[in-house]
Structure 1
Amino acid sequence: MPLTISTWNINSVRLRIDLVAKFLKATRPDVLCLQETKCPDDAFPLKPLAKLGYVHVATNGQKGYHGVAVVSRLPFEAVDRRSFCDKQDCRHVAVTFGERAGLKDPATLHNFYVPAGGDEPDAAVNPKFAHKLQFLDEMRSAAGLHAAPGARAILVGDLNVAPLEHDVWSHKQMLKVVSHTPIECEKLGAVRAAGQWVDAMRMHVPATEKLYTWWSYRAADWAASDRGRRLDHVWVSPAIGDRVSAMTVSRAARGWTQPSDHVPVTVKLEI
């Protein structure tokens, strides 16, 4: 069956619930993964989502910071939440879809929000950057993120690293900017290699072409300057590496009223 999954760093779900609704009405994915929800679980805006048919929700949130959620039209078989770096930051939630969702074989979906890392790319002087590097190291070694042979898994989210040359507007100018430094790119690559994850977005847009999902609020005219980065990712396990039939980056959402600085990414899987 086809399964459509969208991922979006919404930068406050309560502030932008109308934009979430606008996107869901227009795109109708089966599942929407949100990051940076900035919302405790008991305050998550369930009613507007339920009115649109998204009645299955798994959250891992906290007041004012971080937070992730999976919003779905399909029921879950299981929900898992993990902590990293001995912190209580809410940066991960995973759900498993199975027979109740119409799947013959189960599929697990991980939703991540990796720390941004601050402004100074030096772990010795910037604790936020040190935290980011440790988080990526723990992702690499996490047993549950190493796909067993035949396992059907998807990993999405704001991973806060633009790893490839054309994932940023200027490779040379970004080498010393947090999100594209060599050590971050190396560590994210190690996470992907450890789990044998397939980069679903680059299956549809060659690595030689520019591909962005984020544009800074600081730009006077984000579209004209087009100084973007690909911070949001969709990875799939080898067992379904050839099942991604479509991929869309909803660039227009960056131009909506009071937008997030990220835009949604949607993939269609034939699983």
Structure 2
Amino acid sequence: MTPVPPLLAVAHGSRDPRHAAAMAALAARVRALRPGLRVDIGYLDHCGPRVPDRLDALADAGAETVVAVPLLFTPAFHAKQDVPNVLRHRRLTVRQAATLAPSPLLLAALDRRMREAGVRPGDGRYGVVLATAGSTDPEANAVTTIVAREWRRTGWCAVVPAFASVHQGSTIGAAIEDLRTLGAERIAVASCMLAPGILPDRILEQALAAGAEPVTEPVADTEEIARLVLDRYDAALPSRSWLSA
């Protein structure tokens, strides 16, 4: 029987050790949901193991096909350029899965973090800022806008997107003021980030400086994101027959 292709989760990487810890926790959740599936993590930058080293190890272990799932929300530069370039391998067929957003599972993970912070959908006192890193790529920022719109439709009174590194779109402070203008009594900021690091810290700082709270934790270490990674893996498999293997 042809072995099930391993899943290589491709993470951005960070010098902040909290990032790698969150990625390891996510990988552990994915393994728990799919016993027997090999799940490895490779990083694009800043920390290791790097993606090429992981691919070499998988080839040495006998893999012929690998499914790479980018741990990225939007199809920005990393997903369009860096990931395809680093996945080239002379001994492996590597299939790149789609990025993680939009998805109902992402919305469920955001819901989980908001509930943990004490905010419930339907509470008319709150406006919600959906805060992401931001990109120079308009397609990537458009995905964030779609996520905000879809999340609002699930019962949140007002959800607006904002970006910690503004290239296009609203700053976090400006989004908070817009919600206040619309009549929101309180502002919650949902950190649409996978793992702790420089940009999530910036989101927290900007939100608190503008008088918003709570600010939610990143979402990597949730069952919903683990299920989303597996959904992207399954969709990228070269043969659906592997799903019953």
Q: Which has the larger radius of gyration?
A: 2
Q: TM-score, normalised by structure 2?
A: 0.33
Larger % of helix: which? Answer: 2
Under a length normalisation based on structure 1, what TM-score does the superposition of the two structures give?
0.31
The structure in which a higher percent of residues are strand is 1
